[in-house]
Structure 1
Amino acid sequence: MSIRRLVEFDKANSQIGQSHNQTCWTVLSVEDDTFYQQTLRLALKGLQVNGKSVELISASSAAEASLILSSRDDISVILLDVVMETDDAGLRLVDTIRSIMGNNRVRIILLTGQPGMAPHEDVMKQYDIDEYWIKTDTTEAQLRSSVTSNVRTWHYLTELYNAKRSLQMLVDASRVITSKRDIKSFTRTVLSEIAKVIGVPSEGGIVCAHHSANKSLKESEVIAVSGRFQVHQANLVQDILENPDFREKSEVLSLLEKAMLSREHCFSKGFSALYFSTEDVDKRAYMICVQTPNTLLPEHITLLKVFCENIHNGFKNLALFNRLSQLAYYDLELNAPNRNWLEREISQLDDETLSNSTLVLVDVKNYAETAVMLGKRYIRSLIHSFYEALLSEFPHASAICRIDDNQLALLFLDNGGVDSKKLARLTEKKIVIDGVQHTVLSTVGEMSLKQSVDCEASEIVTTAQIAVASTREKKLNYSNFDVKTTGEIAQRQLILHELYSAMTSTSELDIALQPKINMKNGKLIGAEALIRWLKPDGTAVPPVKFIPIAEASGLINKIDLIVLEKTITAIEALSQHGLSIPVSFNVTCGELQNDGFVEEVVNSLNSSKIDPSLLEIEITETQAMEDYTIVNPILKNLRQRGIKISIDDFGTGYSSLAHITDLAATTLKLDKSFVSKLSGEDKEAGVAVCEMVLRLANRFDFDVIAEGVESEIERLALMDIGYEIAQGFYFAKPMALPKFIDWAKKRPQ
């Protein structure tokens, strides 16, 4: 039997109740047909779900329904018509409920008498509804079953929502209290957050007291009060207990003593006594007394107990903090948080908070020069006054830290509280020292931490320092780094972090060999070892990405030694396969000047027992000539030991004939930029340079190699000029050692 036919049995009961009864499940019918409204009421009459009855309230339009839904959140199911004041009023209401009101819990059952206006498949795809029924086809049994299942779904979602909201309250409360670093502000915050968690009204109150082992409970020192206890002006617990307005003296004292003796939280009607001990750290105990007008519900007690775990940790951490933080986490000159403190604070932030945070670095200019010229006392006074000025000017900053002698950092956990204009004015800040006005000049960098969620705290701070250094190098005073800039810096930091890990791996960093070929007969006469980085996931990192970072960070020296070791291993392996050819590898000027480098090379050669002439070191022309007086004696030392020396990228640097004549090298490598001209429009210029380098090499008895040969045209042009040896993609790309050996065995011998 259809619902429409039910009206014939009871037309008299037309008034639908509108009262809000929390003992019932509330269903809202949105329908402009009063006849059908009556039908629905009859169909749901007497329906019970989980022992509670269903109450049906009605709205005759989408607009009326919006008003009802905005004023109450206990509606579990909506029976919604599509066509009302407009043809799509019902569908528009769905969007309003889901997108504007943000109500994703209420279940929506679409009921239509005109299915052609809203095709089933289209509506189910486009709108967040739970069921779709055609009025004339819907039976009473179907409706009651559908409402029952959707009420239960709403109930489960609501329980989950409330639990999530309670959990969020605890998370927020815990985060707030853990940010406090002195006992007064910590306990005041604890009282405030307890009131939020369990809902302590104004007529209630909370008091926190510190209890010493050598004093009675009444003599415990009151640290913080809230609510009704604020009027007592109490210094000790007995001041509250003896106040004439406080009539529950004996009850509260008994409960507090019980908690103190049992060392546990205790609860009674209207009062809770919370006990916290840090005796293992500082021989202290704390009592919190909470008064509520009504007895706490079990769920409130559960929430409070969970929160008390965080409060206990807060008291204990505070005690430990007070003992150790002055040394570990504070700058002694300013009594301000230091870099360790800042990194710890950042590491404790959840992802959402971190992504909404901003880190500002203020780099005081000419710090070292000022300290030398005016003395330590003056520079200490300057930094101290500057720090005090920041504290006064930026009270909303979560922290103001000294992370280096001349660097202060401001951490804002809410981007909305950052005043960029005020920050920019810090580049020229006037302060007063001993009654005299001074101007502090600084470089300021403001950096959003949105792109730093997956980074370590130390990397975040280092990234900010790099960003400020970049600002300073560009001769700017203030920069607000955007997402792209900080993302690029963070990416470089990530590469650096991964490179550190790769240094300890035996497989991530390896070499590839590119052959050097005699162009006249095609024979293999040597190879160059090139660094390669293959991450564990199979991703290859191009040298152009990590070599500059390695050079900037100082890791390039260690990479040079890794390449040295792997090059000698490759020479040994080639010799075992009858391929006795020299292999070259690149060395930076910094590593070449390292006192232990030559010794490292000699020891490696002695351990391997390979012929020194099979090892060749390549250094760029620019490096060789810039530090000629230092580098050339080192090259001579290596040459005397039988090791070959190549000058890489020749023709692009700062060579002079005076240096060339005395340069301790065996080979000049013609830079590929000149080789490429041989196949381009500027061929004549390319030929001229190539001829000049060849004449220079012949004049001073250097071998010469053309690098970067990529075409037959370039090969033929080089041979016409008189070049014999070359390397480049035309002959072969760099290959891993096993593949190189297989390739080399097939070459003309």
Structure 2
Amino acid sequence: MEPTSGNGKQDLKRYYSGQNLNSAFTAFLDIRTSDKILVRSYYDVLLEGDEQFARIFYNYLLQAPETKKVLDTYAQTHSSIDELIRTQLDHFRHLLSADTSADYTIKLEHIGKTHHDHNIEPVWIMGGYLLYLEHLQDIVRHNRNIVDQARETLEDSITKLLFRDMGLLLEGYWNASLSQINEQKQQVSELQERINSVLGNIPHLLWSVDPSDNSLVYISPNTHHVCGHDHSMPIPCMEWTISEDRPRVEFAWQQVLAGNPVEVESRIRNKNGEIRWLRRVFHPCIDENKQVIRIDGLMEDTTDAKLAVERLHTMATTDGLTGLLNRTLFYDRLHQALTRPRRNNKHTAALLLMDLDHFKEINDTLGHPAGDLILIEAAKRMRASLRDSDSLARLGGDEFAVLIPTDADGAAIEKVADKIQACFEAPFLYEQSQLYLGVSIGVACYPENGVDADTLMSRADVAMYANKGSGTSYCYYSSEDDPNTQERLQLASELRDAIKEQQLELYYQPKIGIHSKKITGTEALIRWNHPDRGTLEPAQFLPLAERCGLIQPITEWVLGEAAQQCRRWQDKGYRIPMAINLSTRAFQNPDLIHDVRDALKRSKITPALLEIEITENELMADIDYASDVLQSLSDLGIRIAIDDFGTGYSSLAYLKQLPLDTLKIDKSFVINLTRNDNDAVIVRSIIDLAHNLGRQVVAEGIEQKDVWDMLHQLGCDDAQGYYISHPLPAIKLEAWLQSSPWQPLFN
């Protein structure tokens, strides 16, 4: 009966294949219809004890470690042993049904393939059929229900059917094995093709020779890429090798013949007359008798690599962007300067470390092309301002260094620092923009601040960061600024206690309306009443708090205390808005909005009385994050001010879009307002810009009446500085309110 379902032609092909195989086995084993009829007639007798036999069959297989391992694995991934026993029992019963159809033949072949796929060895299969035979022989010879005259014929018929069954199953096994072998051959062939393709595509020559007669064993297909048609053996391209280099190559060959791997470089003159460099690698293959039986070689053209190394060597001492010394050469010169003897008790050497203020904002906003042009121009300006004896280097990014190698006294250092600062007074031009940058300079001197290059560099770095925001041209290294000194570590520990022991105090500096001459607000400024060091300014401990992770609890305290003081003044009838500065880390604190909301809730003040001040740098560090935070603060009713405006990179886009209320002009533009025309132009521009955008303007750092008067003329809204009042504790500020010429705003 032909199959009536399946996958069309493929099923038919398998069917007729099974039919042919079935016919072959039936004919060869002389299986007759009478054999099948006889076995079927004793079917029930032959199946007596079949379930017990199936278990005995598997117990037998489980006794051998090899078969047990396979069966256990199969049971874990497919079926349990009981399921296998039931399957085996079905097979046993089907065998005794004397089915010789094509469908059963196909099924037996499939079982054989399954045995192959699960690593069941042919010898185990044959052993299983031997158990079948012995079991059935025992039944035929001893069962009383079988007629004596039929026993011999029945045993012969069963044997034929068993051999047919086993043969077909093994046929399936070997077909699966052959298919696997063919598949592996195909994979090997494809892999060989890929290897040949790779070897033919790489610019290397690979070859192997038999050293006994220098005969070629293998050579890669791309020989002509390296040495044309010079395939001379045992060493290709020897005819092209420069005569002066041949002895070196020949010596290397003698080394590999002695069993030593070796590589050698030499020059050749190719067919075009060009001199090229070749690198040859010889590797011996040694047998168990320690005899070299094959030599494998690799040869590559290294000319371009050698030229690149030479270029790298040339560039190793120069910064590729600015043409200045790079870090490597600068360190070398610094080491040399430190080995010179001291003379006349002067600093033998001074190291000035610098980075450009606000460079990151410009680089992030305008892109690297703008940043690169600024670095090139800054390097050009500084190089032109220094002496030939001073070493100027770009250490990386926007970090530069100057080495004053000899006689680096205070006057020489000051002169160099002032020259560098002067380089940044004029704006940097990029397309249609005028960009203003500053420079922070830290100074470390030999031998006072260190006797080795690394120490001096580290301490100059500390001084440089101390210079940021200090208002001075440069800063010398001081252990007070160094977070790694024992003293600073002690101060950090004391700062933790200061928060708990209420040693922190807020001072308040008033802001005055220039036209109304009324008090328009105050700025809260923190002080630390240290039990031993006295009153410490913010610059003396807040940077340390940033490094030690204490800025968050300090900020929480400042917010709470400032809001409470605002409440106290409000209860006394004064309506004095309160401004609070936030550091970069405080502004980036994810709990900031919660802390502000908590301070408002506890103090019960009107949100509009609280103003948060942040710098342009903090704003531009992450404009998207800053925009979200400022909007959240504004939604609470808090006022927002940009502090130190004009010292960073200002974008009209963010000034227009962000919820800003006030621009505070940096004191560096205000102090010399009446004596510096450039400062006057900048201040006027900021005031006009702010008013056009609907913002208030506060000028910081007013110390002279003439500055006050000029700000009045320029239309500035509010003023803050020593001309009005120094920062005062709350009690003294209240006394000042009673005696000052400025009028407070009342509720």
Query: Smaller-chain TM-score range?
Result: 0.3 to 0.5
TM-score by length of 1: 0.35
- Normalising by structure 2, what TM-score? 0.35
Larger Rg: 2
